[in-house]
């Protein structure tokens, strides 16, 4: 669940994921920006409980998927924002690859 990490900053320890035989921990950060909007860095699996906790903090306006695995999970699973589809950063191709 959301753990306070600093002023306007929360972290969530997500499930471990297995990629190419290696197991990696996952962690998401939720950041409240100066205009009150939320930025989610490296979104993890989204449960109803986590969705409710994030909704209580404010409106998610930005999703940052720093890896291909994160981008894939955003496109194929439930999104942390109900208003937009995730978009790769301008430095990535349409498939999220660098």
Cα angle 87, 91, 94 (rounded to 5 degrees) comes to 45
- Which of the 8 DSSP states describes residue 96? S
The C-alpha atoms of residue 87 and residue 71 are separated, in whole angstroms, by 9
- Domain residue spans of the chain: 3-76
At residue 98 the predicted structure's pLDDT band, cuts being 50, 70 and 90, is very low
Cα 40 vs. chain centroid, distance in angstroms? 4
**pLDDT of 32-44, one tens digit each?**
999 999 999 988 8
CATH superfamily of 3-76: Ribonuclease Z/Hydroxyacylglutathione hydrolase-like (3.60.15.10)
pTM comes to 0.74
**pLDDT of 67-86, one tens digit each?**
766 665 565 445 555 545 55
The C-alpha atoms of residue 95 and residue 98 are separated, in whole angstroms, by 9
């Amino acid at each position: 669940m959301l753990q306070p990490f600093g002023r306007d900053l929360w972290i969530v320890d997500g499930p471990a994921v297995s990629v190419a035989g290696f197991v990696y921990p996952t962690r998401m950060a939720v950041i409240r920006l100066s205009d009150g909007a939320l930025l989610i860095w490296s979104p993890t699996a989204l449960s109803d409980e986590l969705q409710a906790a994030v909704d209580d903090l404010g409106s998610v306006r930005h999703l940052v998927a720093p890896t291909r695995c994160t981008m894939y999970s955003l496109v194929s699973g439930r999104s942390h924002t109900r208003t937009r589809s995730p978009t790769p950063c301008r430095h990535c191709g349409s498939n999220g690859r660098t």
